[in-house]
Structure 1
Amino acid sequence: MQLQQGCELVLRVVMTGYSLASEGKGMRRDQRKQARQVLDRRLSAIDSNVLAPPSAGWVRAIRDALGLSTRQLGERLGVAAMSVTDLEKSERAGSAQLATLRRAADAMDCDLVYAFVPRSSLEETVHDQALRVARRELARVHTTMRLEDQALPDEEVEARVVQFAESLLDDRALWDDRQ
């Protein structure tokens, strides 16, 4: 009984240590959560498949669709036709500079759209990371408790993991690589 209380105390200390590290950051925590929610709403409308570049790249695809030659686009950009070809190659290679792409888009009466589109919601990403950290950190305590034959039932361990993860949600240390 005393050992189990000691192990539970260690578990509480681990959980409290994380929550104390982020105390006094209530306003910033709320702001981060609100920012995630706002971005999630804005980005949920974007279908990243629609924005995937054509195999030839956007510059070439738009230029061809408009019927512009490399010479003509080059004139609009104030560069040689070879520079347009180089731009198209660098875009396909993923090394074109945003400023150059923006100038090319403008020369073809287009807007350059640049965005990070999360694979899942930002809220889910943060929640999943919190669960990974909580499981990793509490696994150490659970192992010690199990070795001392004081292990908690699996349901209770998972409940503690979820509780700990909730306390980590807006802790910037959540993204530190702790081993």
Structure 2
Amino acid sequence: MKSDTRKRARERLDERLAPLKPAERFRAPPKGWVRAIRDALGMSGVQFARRLRVQPPSVAALEASEESGAIQLNTLRRAAEALDCTVVYALVPNDSLEGAVRARARKIALRDLGRVAHTMKLEAQGTPDSSSDERVEAYIRDKLKERDLWNEP
């Protein structure tokens, strides 16, 4: 089953990303990583420019682009190599990936079950509490397809 495979893939990614949380630990220094590491090494902008094989004004532009968040990944990699560093690139989910899928499915189930309850109430037909956990879980299991969870914003 594809959904089981995706679930296992999410769980493996969650395990790999867990050591990166909280992501705040890796927030860039105010002037960026390149400038912070270059300064910590005692390397001047001119020396760094030579290592990058660029003109010194390009170093200032590179550091400014990192500070503003506009630096390109390949430029950051070149800078890292010149500083004898490695760029570590990851997207770290705020929640677990599995948690994000469960939360999204629950949100959709509650919305859809709420619509059904409202319609039945208008027709003077009672329904059990639309937010009961059993009904929500049954709706998720029986009606929702994982591929459809992200069709809407």
Structure 2 residue 119 is matched with structure 1 residue 144: yes
Q: Which residue of the partner structure matches residue 50 of structure 1?
A: 25
- TM-score by structure 1 length? 0.79
SS, match of residue 126 in structure 2: coil
Work out the CA distance in 2 between the residues paired with 1:108 and 1:156: 56
Q: What is the CA distance between 1:137 and its match in structure 2?
A: 1.6
Over the residues paired in the alignment, what is the CA RMSD in angstroms? 1.8
Q: Which residue of the partner structure matches residue 29 of structure 1?
A: 3
* Stretches of structure 1 lacking an aligned partner (at least 5 in a row): 1-25
Q: Which runs of 4+ in 1 moved over 4 A?
A: 155-158, 167-170
Q: What is the CA distance between 1:59 and its match in structure 2?
A: 0.5
One-letter amino acid of the structure 2 residue matched with residue 84 of structure 1: V
Aligned residues: 152
Q: Which residue of the partner structure matches residue 87 of structure 1?
A: 62
Work out the CA distance in 2 between the residues paired with 1:147 and 1:169: 25
- Tell me which of the two structures has the higher relative contact order, counting C-alpha pairs closer than 8 angstroms and 6 or more residues apart: 1
One-letter amino acid of the structure 1 residue matched with residue 14 of structure 2: D
One-letter amino acid of the structure 1 residue matched with residue 111 of structure 2: R
* Stretches of structure 2 lacking an aligned partner (at least 5 in a row): none
Q: What is the CA distance between 1:29 and its match in structure 2?
A: 1.3
CA distance 1:100–1:137, shift in 2 (3 Å): same
Work out the CA distance in 1 between the residues paired with 2:74 and 2:143: 38
Identity percentage over the alignment? 47
Could you report, residue by residue, the CA deviation over 1:79-101 in whole angstroms, capped at 9, with x for unpaired residues? 01110110111111111000000
Structure 2 residue 81 is matched with structure 1 residue 103: no
The structure with the greater share of residues assigned to helix is 1
Which of 158-167 and 108-117 deviates more?
Answer: 158-167
Structure 2 residue 131 is matched with structure 1 residue 160: no
